[in-house]
Structure 1
């Protein structure tokens, strides 16, 4: 997802059209699992099928005995309108499922969740942060150390609000959640700028943090999951999305999530996704 952005998009997939009820008819048998995806959005998806959601889609397709096909559109404005709900007269929809949407996202019919993650703080070793393992420890650092840090955050994200609440706005280095450049991807804040020393800390959605921190070999990067606090929600449940009104298809997807939960969790672990449960954040916003 675009910097969860896309949620994570605070949480934004930046999708702006109201839901449309779909008529559930006696559909023809499926010949493929047709997935709506962003073509350049690692760690979630890309054209080469290297993302978390690509891998999960392959698991679901195999379980259904169907090939997986993709319809790609940048996950910016009107993503759902141009993918899941895109239909020309006399033609079929180009795709039938979005593999990653936050629970509560009303543009689609949301399935049961299949993981919960949280925003995370990522820092490079040797910047005076070694040993920090929680948001509380980070905030308890000497004020002189904190004031000198360059903290990269996406605008309009929970991370930006968190800096504001704790008097660290002047340390923030803002990044645009939505960028017109098709080559932009959310992990650049870590892979390029944090690794190169342009910033000292990045606060991003957990799957982005875990994947790119693992991918960067030098400098050594540490990922610190952040707990939600009053007024700032960091953790979110993620699910899949189908068209409103397609109840039978939604039920089938939920059954697949249950049946393939072990395989899905193995993929999340492989991509170094920080997983949390409902007890992780004691104080809800």
Structure 2
């Protein structure tokens, strides 16, 4: 099976969607034990412009989760912001000058299997989604299978926007749709770029007819974009293409007690976590990839 993972990131997007896309090629991380300090704050590593996951105005999914975790732990929430690029973990979670504290202690969204951090137990599983603008000739498409069943002469006219290094590319290749793909760069060097641009700007403006993005991005911007209205069709994994991934949190390797503390909150606050995800319209899927109601 093709296991192309969603770079909050971390694209899954740059951090979640981006991290998800890059998890398969992450560099090995050291696992040495470390002395664990007393936590006086929940120090969160975040991308400052990464909606729907995080931003400096604390409007993202992970900002809401950080508030929840801070309250559960009895700790004030502090952020260290750094644009999510290939060196995000090195410049945030791992960065420490002699005699100083680490810049931050937790990344709120990383894909399971991302070995640059010590990954907690997962707190949700989502999937990629196909998104189209209503009123532009695709309103009769109610599922991904409906799209694939369109007459060839109609389907072949559809321009499909996708981020590079995501499962969407493998899916287009499998279904003979490569020529219709319009690729966009996931890890742009432009810090002003954010994961939802493909929907909020390109799709909305009619530059593409369909977009395939990580589910949390799809759900958030379908809610946020008022005109045109966007329809979200979650995609199921299929032979050769994996679309659904588990997301967890990341701490430094060797900080076992801190990881256990974070995992305890994941367990005790699962209902509240799920409520936050649903409020952001994140498509949630079960273990086998079945979409949850």
TM-score category, normalised to shorter length: over 0.9
Match of 1:37 among 46, 51, 61: 46
The count of residues paired between Structure 1 and Structure 2 equals 281
Match of 1:55 among 59, 64, 69: 64
Q: For residue 235 of structure 2, what is the aligned residue in structure 1?
A: 226
Q: For residue 97 of structure 2, what is the aligned residue in structure 1?
A: 88
Match of 1:70 among 76, 79, 91: 79
Runs of 4+ in 1 over 4 A off after TM superposition: 13-16
Q: How many Å separate the matches in 1 of 2:97 and 2:231?
A: 47
Q: CA RMSD in A?
A: 1.7
3-state secondary structure, aligned to 1:80: helix
3-state secondary structure, aligned to 2:45: strand
Taking the TM superposition and a 5 Å limit, the aligned residue runs for 1:218-257 are: 218-257=227-266
Taking the TM superposition and a 5 Å limit, the aligned residue runs for 1:103-182 are: 103-182=112-191
Q: How many Å separate the matches in 2 of 1:153 and 1:199?
A: 10
Query: How far off its partner does 1:247 sit?
Result: 0.9
Change (3 A) 1:251 1:60: same
Query: How far off its partner does 1:13 sit?
Result: 4.2
Q: How many Å separate the matches in 2 of 1:98 and 1:11?
A: 13
> 1:206-231 CA distances to partner (integer Å, 9 max, x unpaired)?
00000001111111210000001111
Q: How many Å separate the matches in 2 of 1:67 and 1:216?
A: 32
Query: How far off its partner does 1:179 sit?
Result: 0.5
Give the alignment's TM-score, normalised by structure 2. Answer: 0.91
Contact in 1 for aligned 2:160/2:212 (Cα 8 Å): yes
Q: How many Å separate the matches in 1 of 2:197 and 2:127?
A: 19
Q: How many Å separate the matches in 1 of 2:44 and 2:17?
A: 19
Q: For residue 4 of structure 1, what is the aligned residue in structure 2?
A: 12
Runs of 5+ in structure 1 lacking a partner? none
Runs of 5+ in structure 2 lacking a partner? 1-7
Query: How far off its partner does 1:102 sit?
Result: 0.4
Give the alignment's TM-score, normalised by structure 1. Answer: 0.94
Change (3 A) 1:43 1:10: closer
Deviates more, 1:6-15 or 1:109-118: 6-15
